[in-house]
Structure 1
Amino acid sequence: MALGSTPAAAAAACTAGKGPYQKQVEKFLGRPVDGKQSSADCKAIRSFQTKHGIAPASGFAGTLTWQAMDTMLQQKAAGKTPNKAGKCPVNKGRIACVDLTRQLSWIQDGKKLVYGPVPVRTGKKGTETRTGARKIYWRNIDHVSSIYKVKMPYAQFFDGGQAFHSVTKSMWNPPGSAGCVNMRPAEAKAYWKLLKKGDDVYVYGQKPGT
C-alpha cells in the first residue's frame, strides 16, 4: 500500500484517463510505454502521487506529477558534480549552494564538494526563496515559527525569515514552502554540523512553476 493511503483508497477503482504526460510518466515508473492509460498505470501513478502529497491523487499523469518526476531525474543526473556549470561561487571557501531550478542543495569548499547534493523543497509561487548571495546570520536548533506556528528543527537563517530547516514531508510535495529551504531531517542535521554563523549561502535559478 502506498505511503499515506487508506485501505478504502487502495481498494477503490483507479479510473483516471490518459494525461498529457502519459508516456513520460510511464517511462519514469517502469511501466510499458504506450501512451495508453491502463488500470495498472493508473494505480502506479496514484501510488506515486500519494507518497509525495500530490493532489488529487487520482492517477492522472498531469503537470504536477511530471514536474516532480522531471525534477527527480535532474537531481539524479547531477550526481557528484552539482556545480559542473560553475553557477555557485568557488572563491568563497565554505558555502552552501541552493539551485532552485533543480531543487538541489550542497555544501562546497572552493571547488571541493563537502556534502550532498541533496533534494530540497523551496518557496512556492508568491513566497519564493529569494536568490542571491547571503550569509547565515542566526541559528536555532529547536526553532518554532512565530508566523506559521510550526516547528523548524535545525533552522539556519540566511535571508530575513528564510532558513534551511528540517521537515518530515516529501521534498517533492507541491506547491512548496513559504520561502524556506526545506530538507529531510538527516540532511538538515548534517548542514547544522557543517555550517556556522557567518558562512556563505548562494541561491540561484528558478523553481519550476514559479
Structure 2
Amino acid sequence: MGNMGRRGAVALGVTGLVAPLTLALGAAPAQAASCTAQAGPYQKQVEKFLGRPVDGRQSAADCRAIQAFQNRHGITPAIGYAGPVTWGVMDLMNKQKAVGDKPNKDGRCPVNKGRIACVNLTLQLSWIQDGSRLVYGPVPVRTGRDGFETRTGLKKIYWRDLHHVSSVYNVPMPYSQFFDGGQAFHSVGLSMWNPPGSHGCVNMTTTAAKKYWSLLRTGDDVFVYGRKPGT
C-alpha cells in the first residue's frame, strides 16, 4: 500500500495548485507583473503552437499567452518563459494529435489477446482495443515520473475499486483498476500534461476513467510499453 500512499501525495498536490491559480487568474496586474520579458530557447516553437506571430521575440501578449498555458497545465514557474518544460508539453501534444485514430499503427500492443488496455508511455496515450479493432481512445494519460515509472510489460487487471481511497493520505482515487501492485488506472483532478507525472499510476480524466471502468473487467489484459519523456 506504500506506493498507493505516495501517489496520494500527488493528488494532495492538487490543493496546492488551486490557490495560486485562483490568485493568478483573479489578479491581472499581479499576473502581468510576474511576466518575464526574456525570450526563451523555444520561443519560436511556442509562438507557433499558440498561434502567436512567430518572430522569436518576447512580447507582453506572448508572455500572457504562454503564462495562461502554463497555469492551465500546472507548469511552474508560470512566468511566461518559453523554456524546455513548456515546449516539452506542447511537443507531446503535437505528437499525440498526430496519432489520430491509429494508436497501434506500429503493432506494439498485442492484437491476439482480445480486449486489452494499451499504454504507450512514450506518447503518454492509452486506448482499449479488441484484437486489432479500436474500442476506445486514444486518450492522453499521466504516468509515472522519473524514479516512480509506470512498469512496462503485459499485466492483468486484478482488482477494481470504484471509490478507492489511499490508505496513507486518505486521498480519493476514483475508478481505480489495479494491474501491477499499487499501479492502477484512476481519475485525477489534474491536467494530463501536468509535469513531472504520477508516482506510478496511469492518471486519467474523469471521463476517460469512467469509460475504462465501463469497458474493462477483472482479468482483462493491460500492456504497458515505451518510455515516458524525462525518465
Normalising by the residue count of structure 1, what TM-score does the alignment of the two structures yield?
0.96
Q: Which residue matches 2:25?
A: 5
* Structure 1: segments with no counterpart, 5+ residues: none
More helix by share: 2
Alignment pair present for 1:62 and 2:83: yes
Residue-by-residue CA offset, 1:14-64 (whole Å, 9 max, x unaligned): 224111111110110001111111111111100000010000001001111
Equivalent pair of 1:16/1:58 in contact (CA under 8 Å) = no
User: 211, 218, 224: which is aligned to 1:190?
Assistant: 211
Residues in 2 aligned to 1:120 and 1:18: alpha-carbon distance in whole angstroms: 30
Equivalent residue runs for 1:46-125 within 5 Å: 46-125=67-146
- In the alignment of these two chains, the number of paired residues is 210
Q: 1:112 to 1:3 in 2, by over 3 A?
A: farther
User: 53, 76, 101: which is aligned to 1:32?
Assistant: 53
Q: Which residue matches 1:143?
A: 164
Residues in 2 aligned to 1:77 and 1:3: alpha-carbon distance in whole angstroms: 35
Residues in 2 aligned to 1:3 and 1:76: alpha-carbon distance in whole angstroms: 32
Q: Which residue matches 2:41?
A: 20
Residue-by-residue CA offset, 1:78-121 (whole Å, 9 max, x unaligned): 11000011111111100000001110000000000000000000
Residues in 1 aligned to 2:171 and 2:45: alpha-carbon distance in whole angstroms: 36
Q: 1:158 to 1:13 in 2, by over 3 A?
A: closer
Q: Percent identity?
A: 71
Q: 1:195 to 1:112 in 2, by over 3 A?
A: same
The worse-fitting range, judged by mean Cα deviation, of 76-85 and 141-150 is 141-150
Residue-by-residue CA offset, 1:176-198 (whole Å, 9 max, x unaligned): 00100000001100000000000
User: How much has 1:4 moved relative to structure 2?
Assistant: 6.4
Corresponding letter in the other structure for 1:91:
N
Residues in 1 aligned to 2:214 and 2:114: alpha-carbon distance in whole angstroms: 17
Residues in 2 aligned to 1:158 and 1:24: alpha-carbon distance in whole angstroms: 38
User: How much has 1:13 moved relative to structure 2?
Assistant: 5.3
* Structure 2: segments with no counterpart, 5+ residues: 1-20
